[in-house]
Amino acid sequence: MYGDTVKSNILLTVELTPIVTVAIALEIINLLCTFMISLNPVVQSVEEAFNVPAKFGWKRVVTRSVIVMCQILIGITVPSFGKILNLIGGSLITICTFILPPLMYMKLADDRSDPKWPIRKIEPWERILLVEIMIVGVLGGLCSTLTSAYDVVVTSFSSSCFTEFNTCSDPT
């Protein structure tokens, strides 16, 4: 019944019952409530970078409006959110799980700047293993990132709202 027919959003796969309708409504409420909370740190960083005053004013309104418009543009351009998640997973998650932990471990173990810091010695075989993990992470991350970036650019722009208006209603 499901198998390959399961869409990236499971709520679009199951039959529309009152329980599914409630789940969709609760998800919409969740998104609306968390949108401003999750967007605010990004907006404040951008405002700080462009020296926008922290008080209410036209510069602040324009900055926040431009950021929201960019989000809308991305949402229209890439109708399948799963492709964006693949891109994030291929790049950022790979860096955070395969590259940075071994790198930080080696840097901390080799750090001799503080005499109170305990001296740690990484055995050569362990250092080789850590470097191999980072190499595998870099290669896997590159392959995954390039594949997902290609998927975002080629398949999204070939069936986006900019090229075919009727695809805006059905992102599959």
> Domain segments of the chain: what residues?
1-77, 80-172
Which token pair is 73?
Answer: 């543009």
pLDDT of 22 reads 92
CB 47 within 8 A of CB 60: yes
Question: Per-residue DSSP letters for 77-144?
Answer: H---HHHHHHHHIIIIIHIIIIIHHHHHHHHHHH--S-TTSPP----HHHHHHHHHHHHHHHHHHHHH
Burial class (CB in 10 A: 0-12, 13-18, 19+), 158: exposed
Please write the tens of the pLDDT for every residue from 5-52. Answer: 777 677 777 888 899 889 889 989 998 889 889 999 999 999 999 999
Entry pTM: 0.58
Tokens of 160: 């986006």
- In Å, what is the CA distance from 30 to each residue of 6, 35, 40? 23, 8, 16
Look up residue 160 and give its DSSP letter: S
Query: What local confidence, expressed as pLDDT, does residue 86 receive?
Result: 86
Residue type for 52, please? V
